[in-house]
């Protein structure tokens, strides 16, 4: 079985090709972001990154962030969210909790305070259900700040929310009026 280091390396490669650059391995994604598992494994092998079906299943099934998902018959695979390539994941609007959170690198704080949260090159803004998760997500890029999102209020104003297969909350944008900096001293 894969070591933790190998699992991380393969997971990062899968994130790259299933979310941002399928051509990196010479695969294609359909309109919903799915690709054939057998083709993916063949292309990984051809690019010197061999992975067995059992190892791929291990990565998908044990990923703490559940970034990937198999089709019901396990012949197709896709990323759960975070795409920068054009896909339609088929998410339907859902009612969010009253409050969600967004963690980001501190240098982005001023821009967010002026412009709100924008999806940038991705399909959606990613939001967390709790401060700890938001802090962990934002900390990948240095000192973190966490914003509280008045999700219930946004929803009542007609702005849609979605929830990815892995539980990540998604919004098309979060206007400034629905944001507040989390007081870290509280």
Looking at 50, 79, 108, the residue that finishes a domain is 79
Question: How high is the pLDDT of residue 186?
Answer: 42
Query: What is the pTM (predicted TM-score) of this model?
Result: 0.67
Domain harbouring 60, CATH code? 1.10.10.970
- Asked if 84 and 122 count as a contact pair (C-beta separation under 8 A), the reply is yes
Do 74 and 117 lie in a common domain? no
Is residue 116 assigned to a domain?
yes
Q: What SS3 state is found at 184? A: coil
Please identify every stretch of the chain with a pLDDT value under 70, giving residue numbers as ranges: 121, 184-186
Q: State the Cα–Cα distance between residues 104 and 139, nearest whole angstrom.
A: 7
Is residue 87 assigned to a domain?
no
Number of domains forming the structure of the chain: 2
Residues of the domain holding 66: 4-79
Domain harbouring 135, CATH code? 3.20.170.30
Question: How high is the pLDDT of residue 184?
Answer: 65
Question: How high is the pLDDT of residue 73?
Answer: 95
Query: Looking at 42-178, which runs of residues are DSSP E strands?
Result: 68-70, 76-79, 100-105, 117-118, 125-127, 144-149, 161-163, 169-171, 173-174
């Amino acid at each position: 079985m894969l070591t933790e280091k190998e699992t991380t390396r393969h997971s990062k490669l899968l994130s790259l090709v299933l979310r941002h650059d399928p051509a990196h391995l010479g695969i294609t994604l359909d309109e919903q972001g799915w690709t054939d598992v057998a083709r993916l494994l063949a292309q990984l092998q051809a690019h010197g990154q061999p992975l067995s079906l059992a190892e791929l299943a291990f990565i998908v099934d044990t990923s703490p962030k559940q970034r990937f998902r198999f089709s019901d018959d396990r012949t197709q695979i896709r990323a759960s969210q975070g795409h920068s390539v054009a896909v339609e994941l088929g998410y339907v609007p859902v009612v969010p909790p009253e409050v969600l959170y967004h963690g980001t690198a501190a240098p982005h704080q001023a821009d967010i305070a002026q412009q709100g949260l924008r999806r940038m090159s991705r399909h959606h803004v990613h939001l967390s259900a709790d401060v700890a998760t938001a802090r962990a997500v934002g900390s990948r890029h240095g000192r973190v700040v966490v914003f509280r999102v008045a999700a219930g209020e946004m929803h009542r104003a007609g702005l849609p929310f979605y929830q990815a297969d892995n539980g990540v909350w998604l919004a098309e944008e979060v206007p400034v009026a629905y944001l507040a900096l989390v007081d870290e001293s509280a």
